[in-house]
Chain A
Amino acid sequence: MASISIRNLVKRYGSFTVIPDLNLEIADHEFVVFVGPSGCGKSTLLRIIAGLEPMTAGDLYIGDKRVNGVQAAQRDIAMVFQDYALYPHMRVYDNMSFALELRGTPKAEIDARVRRAAALLHIEPYLDRKPKELSGGQRQRVAMGRAIVRNPKAFLFDEPLSNLDAKLRGQVRAEIKALSQELKTTMVFVTHDQIEAMTMADRIVVLQGGVVQQYDTPETVYERPANQFVAGFIGSPAMNFFPVEWRDDRVVLSQIGAAVPLDDASSRRLQKAGNGVLGIRPEHFGVVTDPADGIAVNVKLVEPLGSDTLIHFDLAGVSAIARVDPELRPRLGDRLSVRPQPGKIHLFDGNSGEVLR
């Protein structure tokens, strides 16, 4: 068990810079999720921590030890790969015992640890099977078992759920979360799936272009995104954005000049900036009965999800989505009045995308 400290990390491939200058502190026992779009550098960062990829500059500490240049084999970390990377010629038992055998662990202890991990992951019946005789979910568990038998300083997960079907993914996600609470070991998990990030992490690192956009708890990242990128990336469906400006002592949608009913604090922030981008999550649109209280929109698509319903509409030249009560039973072409819920709107700088404070 150990903390992980990344200081001024730079990663370049030739003249192409993947990570320009990154600093990150992961506390002992913490479950941190790296999330971001493809090519944001999250897997590269994980591989650098694992020792599978050299860094161009900077320092990396696992616990108190600086591990720059230390081989992956000597870092005492365990990793679960996207394709599980099980040894195809070994039985499940051997896959799990291999690392312990390399370290010269006594046979009895190896056996005890393998069986304990197998029991924890419910893979005892498969110990004598080869990986090709297992389903995707079983292979995934074996890959986790191979990691946990070692009792390493940290676990690294590189998109381990992306090859599973939706149902199994949800199940394994919960199992990993439960495992992290039981093992109390530092865990770093890479995903492009924001639901995985939100549900599993103690803290989320949102990456874009090799730069940390925000590093905070899932709640904070969701409720108080640091910038427009984070706001748009976290949350499904994504946050709606509308260009707004301060005109005639009120906040209006830039394109159509329609007034946006905002609370005083938000209005003051925009007044100070002059213009910006208004962000509203789909669930923070309210449907109002009095047209004077909201902005009139035409429903152009309805997506009933059961628990709630998504309605699509155009507002100020922007295609927007609102999550509404299914009891409302909106229909295609209905004219509704919507308004942002008080205190639930986000304002960003029109140029930098940073949140307006």
Chain B
Amino acid sequence: MHIFLQVLFILVLVGLGYLVTQRFKLIIASIQLARPIELNDNPGERWKRVALLAFGQKKMFQKPLVGIFHFLIYIGFVLINVEILEIVIDGILGTHRIFAPFLGSLYPLLLNFFELLSFGVFVACVVFFLRRGVTKVQRLQPDAHRELQGFPIQDAYTILAIECILMFALWTMNASDALLQERQVAHFEPVGAFFVSQYLMPILSNLSTPVLLILERVAWWFHILGILGFALYVTYSKHLHIFFAFPAAYYSSLEPSSKMSNMASVTHEVKLMLGQPVETNTATPDQMRFGAKDVMDLTWKNALDAYSCTECGRCTEQCPANQTGRALSPRKIMMDTRDRLEEVGKGLAKNKGQWTEDGKSLLGDYISAEELRACTTCQACVEACPMELSPLNIILALRRYQIMEQSDAPAAWNSMFSNIETNQAPWKFNPSDRLNWAKS
């Protein structure tokens, strides 16, 4: 029986490990379809950002209450994972609480600490559930934000539910374990009762020893399977930020948010037009689009941003266009980009890693011209994002495609363009009148 369970455990571990790895490989392959961008300058500043934004969650504390509860879940999950290490080793070797003899009196202390953390996680999840479902924080409501309808809102509640259930499994496991210790059942190290699970003990104390033994094992399996299953689920969920927040922070833009990237391909063309010397090796490949029509025309950082987004909606909450009832929602821009990347990923998986056109694109099938045109480039979305992700850069890349490849501009913009070309000002004034302000 023992050996059977050990083999089963190893199979499950390897199987889920394989599935999770495959998912990550596909996500990374989809991200790598996007255009290259150099973001390796100034590593000192970049590591500082990882420390402050990702590890320290500095910007989360701009909303202090949410910041504290989010931090509770975060340290809870990071530190409780130390215990996962023990569970995995126990599972493989068929041992029970293998760390206990090594750590001695430190072991119960550590487990008590983990239980304290798990309680923090539980409380935070309850608070987050209340914020979504009861106090109805506006930015989290699907009836106010169309991008949250369907899977996204389900996803949000699923994550909270899974986290709560996992904590319960942990406590049930520890409570039955403590009871079995009291009854001096073999293999159960006397490590004592713990902070939270001791309150479950009276409920379980009427159960017979064989039932408790089964309950302890069921909870143990549930907990570890839950964690492993969660790891796989996360790759399909907004919760992926628990991994991608770190690279997203490292590669976040060190430039002012108001600075637009220079298009070297255009510089080349313009220099040719102006008769200025050009470097011959910077010529653009013919198939290279100006701007972005689809996700592969974006930069890989834009794609990474889309996968890192947690759909918290701080961007949309601050967006002046969204606040005044316009179609634009920066969060929707991120979610659409990710949805399209996922679709492209499915195509990649089908075609052995080769991308073939599927007749769809980010612009048009996911994001409309109306949304793009509502953006005032005020950068409030970038400023609001706790991870410094940039919906703005995606919007601007799509706008470039609209104007330069589709010549799709409102008539008023076309007049503005021709005024700049002929009169050197966006309005139709005579350029020779430019100094008239000094005359009167």
Q: Do A and B assemble together?
A: no
Binding site for A on B (CB under 8 A): none
